[in-house]
Homo-oligomer: A and B are copies of this chain.
Amino acid sequence: MTELKDKPIGIFDSGLGGLTCVAEVRRLMPNENIVYFGDTARIPYGTRSRETVLEYAKQDVAFIKKHDVKMIIAACGTVSSTVGSIPDFAGSVPFTGVVIPAAQAACAVTQNNKIGVIGTGTTIRSAAYCKAIRGIRGDMKVIGNSCNLFVSLVENGLTSDDEVVRIITERYLTDIKREGVDTLILGCTHFPIIADAISEFMGDNVKLISSGAEAAKYAMNYLAGKGLCSDRKEEGTVVYYTSDSAAMFEEGANAFLGGELHGEVIKIGIDELTDQ
């Protein structure tokens, strides 16, 4: 029987965005095994209703739990904003989303107590980041804006140097910039891919917080605190599950990982999500 500390970390997202969290987990804890699920047959989540996101999140967590994981990371801003910090359906498995980790990081970084948050429409409507930040520091000013098109632009391969990315960045971020924030939470795990365009618009004095990377750090601290970090010597394995084509997953993954997959991609049927 596998000892608890040698069990994998489960990470999931609507699609490829959560790979920005996988990359950080691998950097911080290279000997941990990882099971990843990207729900590419139903991406995007961020334009759907709260009710639908909740249903999908339950199915995703149930799928991840089948892999006997020691911790679950919802590496998806929309899911994290919708399910709350400790959802019932995670059961006894330790769970973190990206909201609390990113909120904590932003509160630690800001000097002027003005924090911007960008995310999907469903994320911003939930006000989850705002509530999390105010729960940590009641005096923080939080300015949010929904940026649904960023997800589509990134998913379609557009990068920071693209004219359209620059125009949409200006459109989405002008109000937040005007408020003089010194910290900006990238509240959707797709957004780090266009961090250069965002940073260029906001200016060097604004610190960007990657919600996926912060969730990875949070998970490491949690596992270390519980004595649950693996002590295996060799590099950990990664298995990627995807609800749509494995080839399409592989094709898109590199941009998010900043490198190779280092693991197998397995396609699952949608019925494996809905019949559980």
Contact = CB atoms under 8 A, between A and B. Distances in A.
Interface in A108-155: 148-149, 152-153, 155
Interface string A235-249: 000000001110010
A244 B52 contact: yes
21 contacts: A41-B48, A42-B42, A47-B155, A47-B156, A48-B245, A49-B244, A52-B243, A52-B244, A52-B245, A52-B270, A148-B156, A149-B152, A149-B153, A152-B153, A152-B156, A163-B167, A164-B164, A164-B167, A164-B168, A270-B274, A274-B274
Nearest to A146: B156
A55 B274 contact: no
Interface residues of A, number: 28
A51 interface: yes
A234 interface: no
A245 B49 contact: yes
Contacts of A42: 41-42
A271 interface: yes
A168 to B, nearest CB: 6
A249 to B, nearest CB: 10
Nearest to A155: B47
Contacts of A149: 152-153, 156
The quantity of this chain's copies bound in the complex is 2
A74 to B, nearest CB: 19
Contacts of A41: 42, 48, 52
A201 to B, nearest CB: 15
A163 B168 CA distance: 10
A141 to B, nearest CB: 27
Interface string A67-91: 0000000000000000000000000
A120 to B, nearest CB: 11
Contact of A248 (B49, B55, B148): B49
Interface string A256-272: 00000000000001110
Contacts of A49: 244-245, 248
A48 B168 contact: no
